[in-house]
Amino acid sequence: MSTLLAFEDALEEIKHSANVCVEQQTVPLINAVGRILAANVIAGISVPPHDNSAMDGYALAFSDWQAGKYFSISQRIAAGQHPEPLLPGTCARIFTGANIPAGADTVIMQENAQLAGDKVAFNAQPSIADNVRPKGQDMQVGQTVIKAGEKITPIHIGLLSSLGITDVVVYKQLNVGILTTGDELVPIGENLKAGQIYNSNGPMLSALVTHAGHNVSHCIHAADTLEDTKAALKVLMQSCDIILSSGGVSVGEEDHVKGALDKLGKVHLWKIAIKPGKPLVHATLQGTPFLGLPGNPSSTLVTYHWFARLLLSICSGQITELPQSYLVDAGFNRNKIIQRDEFLRVSIGKDGLAYAHPQQSSGALLAASESQGYLHVKANTQVEYGHSYPFYPFSAF
Ligand SMILES: Nc1nc2c(c(=O)[nH]1)N[C@H]1C(S)=C(S)[C@@H](COP(=O)(O)OP(=O)(O)OC[C@H]3O[C@@H](n4cnc5c(N)ncnc54)[C@H](O)[C@@H]3O)O[C@H]1N2
Ligand code: MOO
């Protein structure tokens, strides 16, 4: 057990070894959602570009206001029009979004106006600058509005559109190669024979990678031989930015991924003190980053969430934070102690307590699908009812 690397040390190792491994490209803004920004965006204009009215009402100079005074309405300003300077001592009829005329500094909403013929009075005292949205209230010219490394969201698309930006510089999508291993595996769509199971990790990894915004460029399945595993890795290392594999990383003589890596590249890390997911392997194949995830489906899921997500994210140019946890009290006791950090699949009850799914086998995936996240139980620790532990909702990954 002493040869296993601690969970936090493994995260640090992977984080520090990873670099951006994709080039930059310019794409139309409208196609940019989900892409990683490669350069800071600086506002080229102020938003709004002019002081404008937040209400339908009347614009006037605050210093002209007096209770009971009737103002002439000297102009009418709709949104999109360029107003004339306000005639001294008058007010302007104004609408939401219209520019404030020079000489006015305050807008009184029409509900607080008393119209009499072609004049208007304002009996309630306004405050200066009431209902005026000043130039640059949202964004100032020269301001950095989105930083390089941020993933472009629909909100960013709105923000950049309000700056008039048509194209953005982003990182090219990461081309991810996925390798599955195991002679017992059959692709979905075929009939199972005795001893066979369906290849579920291939489609799951593909979906996880795509969902994270990367491109799955190759999916290869290798037979349980060193030759086949090496041949598959050679194809992937020549054609992909990064490689993920599932299975074949443990110690049996049917496990060939680790052996192939020793022959073709450099192994940085093998075996971590976590459950599920112990035999994770991290390597570089002539410059191509490689992460070998254990084959048990929940081990694949946990190691993808913690390690592959991090590696893919850094390699794709994204500013990468570790997932956010929340302290949650356990609603159960567990006396079992193991020398690995455990990621129990749990749900949060209506009482706010975390409840472990009864099935915690690393071979079982339904438990994860029926759970809401992971409860992180540190190595050599019991779970005690009412004690708090970090909870990571699946949505944090
Ligand atoms: N003697 C030891 N045996 C094992 C150890 C150990 O330390 N000593 N570690 C165990 C642990 S922990 C894990 S985790 C597994 C990981 O093994 P591998 O990564 O080598 O995975 P495989 O042996 O290839 O497969 C494990 C399991 O998962 C199923 N599998 C594999 N790929 C897929 C797939 N694409 N879709 C669905 N299911 C898959 C496979 O059929 C096996 O049942 O090793 C333990 N053994
Ligand atoms: O570390 Mo393994 O994933 O428990 O079966």
pLDDT tens, N- to C-terminus, the chain (397 residues): 448 999 999 999 999 999 999 999 999 999 999 999 999 999 999 999 999 999 999 999 999 999 999 999 999 999 999 999 999 999 999 999 999 999 999 999 999 999 999 999 999 999 999 999 999 999 999 999 999 999 999 999 999 999 999 999 999 999 999 999 999 999 999 999 999 999 999 999 999 999 999 999 999 999 999 999 999 999 999 999 999 999 999 888 888 999 999 999 999 999 999 999 999 999 999 999 999 999 999 999 999 999 999 999 999 999 998 999 999 999 999 999 999 999 999 999 999 999 999 999 999 999 999 999 999 999 999 999 999 999 999 999 9
Which pLDDT does position 251 carry in this prediction?
83
| Domain 52-133 falls under CATH 3.40.50.920 | no
| ipTM value for the complex | 0.98
Task: Return the sign of the alpha-carbon dihedral for residues 94, 100, 103, 109.
Answer: positive
Give the per-residue pLDDT at 1. 45
Provide CATH 2.40.340.10 ranges for the chain: 326-396
Pocket of ligand 1 contains residue 245 by CB under 6 Å: no
The pLDDT value given to residue 3 = 84
CB 249 within 8 A of CB 258: yes
Q: Say if ligand 1 is within 6 A of residue 275 CB.
A: no
Question: Ligand 2 centroid vs 250 CA: distance in angstroms?
Answer: 10
Whether the CB of 229 sits within 6 Å of ligand 1: no
Backbone angles phi, psi at 143, to 5 degrees: -80, 140
326-396, CATH topology level: Beta-clip (2.40.340)
Which residues lie across from 291 on neighbouring strands?
244, 282
CATH architecture of residue range(s) 7-22+173-315: 3-Layer(aba) Sandwich (3.40)
Rounded CA-CA distance 129/266 in Å is 66
The pLDDT assigned to 174 comes to 98
Q: Measured between alpha carbons, how far is 360 from 343 in angstroms, rounded to an integer?
A: 9
Residue pair 106/61 in contact (Cβ under 8 Å)? The answer is yes
Residue pair 229/283 in contact by the 8 Å Cβ criterion: no
CATH topology of domain 26-47+149-171: Molybdopterin biosynthesis moea protein, domain 2 (3.90.105)
Compute the distance between CA of residue 230 and CA of residue 235 in angstroms, rounded to an integer: 9
Q: Which ligand 1 atom lies nearest to the CA of residue 271?
A: 7
Omega before 276 within 30 of 0, i.e. cis:
yes
For atom 43 of ligand 1, which residue has the closest CA? 296
The burial class, CB within 10 Å (0-12 / 13-18 / 19+), for 182 is buried
Domain with CATH 3.40.980.10 in the chain: 7-22+173-315
CB atoms within 10 A of CB 125: 12
Ligand 2, atom nearest to 363 Cα? 5
Given the DSSP bridges, would you call strands 326-329 and 288-293 parallel, antiparallel or unpaired? Answer: unpaired
Q: Is the peptide bond before 48 cis (omega within 30 degrees of 0)?
A: yes
How far away, in angstroms, is 276 Cα from ligand 2 center? Answer: 4
H or E, element range at 185:
strand 185-186
- For residue 215, with 0-12 CB atoms within 10 Å meaning exposed, 13-18 middle and 19 or more buried, which class applies? middle
* Residue that is written with structure tokens 């455990």 in the block: 342
Pocket of ligand 2 (CB under 6 A): 275-278, 294, 296, 299, 362
pTM (predicted TM-score): 0.92
Compute the distance between CA of residue 110 and CA of residue 94 in angstroms, rounded to an integer.
9
Residues of the chain with CATH 3.90.105: 26-47+149-171
